[in-house]
Amino acid sequence: MPDKPAGAAPAAPIDPDTTTSAERARLVSAVLDLVADGSTYRNACVTLGIPRPTVWRWMQADPGALDRYAIARESNARQMADETLEISDAATNEGERVARLRVDTRKWLASKLLPREFGDRIELTGTFANLDLRQLTDDQIRRLSDGEAPASVLVATIPRALPATVPLPNEVAADDEDGA
């Protein structure tokens, strides 16, 4: 990763109270560039001498920065996935365990950062009338991959994933009680 070499001194600390908005925007962009290039958020902040909470506060004040952060993390995850090939190809018999650990760590982290792209594939069986699976959240995908019953995961999805013309089971039961 393009983090600073070991032993390199971090940049002089930035005083968040005296930075201009233009300087803040430049520093946030620099952090995001480092993250997109494969650095961790922590190392990017250390490299530039900016406290992590300060950068996070600056990003929260700029909605566009949070979107750019998400894009930088996606780039970071894709780089980690690419690095797994390089690490595996460079492994020797003596370094096999270390290489395997490095590859597995990157694969795991990429699967958590971009579960739809690098996560385990989930195969759902059964019929869910008019259910749009693209509306599942990452948490629901994780719960399904952990083996949780699809009905318990999808119960929160049904009201927003089904067209308004399809009655929900509890609505049908309520109509039957009213009509009886």
Looking at residue 2, its pLDDT comes to 45
Looking at residue 6, its pLDDT comes to 46
CA distances, 125 to each of 12, 15, 144, 146 (Å): 57, 56, 12, 16
Q: Please state, in angstroms and rounded to a whole number, the distance separating the CA atoms of residues 82 and 98.
A: 17
**What are the residue boundaries of the structural domains of the chain, listed by start?**
1-119, 121-180
Question: Along the 180 residues of the chain, how does pLDDT read in single tens digits?
Answer: 444 444 455 556 677 777 888 899 999 999 999 999 989 899 999 999 899 999 999 999 988 998 999 899 989 888 888 888 888 888 777 778 888 888 888 888 888 877 877 777 766 566 555 556 677 788 887 787 787 777 777 765 555 544 555 555 555 555 555 554
Looking at residue 77, its pLDDT comes to 86
- CA 113, chain centre distance (Å): 3
Query: Topology of 1-119 in CATH?
Result: Arc Repressor Mutant, subunit A (1.10.10)
Q: Please state, in angstroms and rounded to a whole number, the distance separating the CA atoms of residues 157 and 131.
A: 9
CA distances, 76 to each of 39, 49, 82, 101, 145 (Å): 7, 21, 10, 18, 23
Looking at residue 5, its pLDDT comes to 45
Looking at residue 171, its pLDDT comes to 52
Q: Please state, in angstroms and rounded to a whole number, the distance separating the CA atoms of residues 95 and 90.
A: 9
Residue 11: HSE in the Cβ half-sphere, 13 Å Cα cutoff: 17
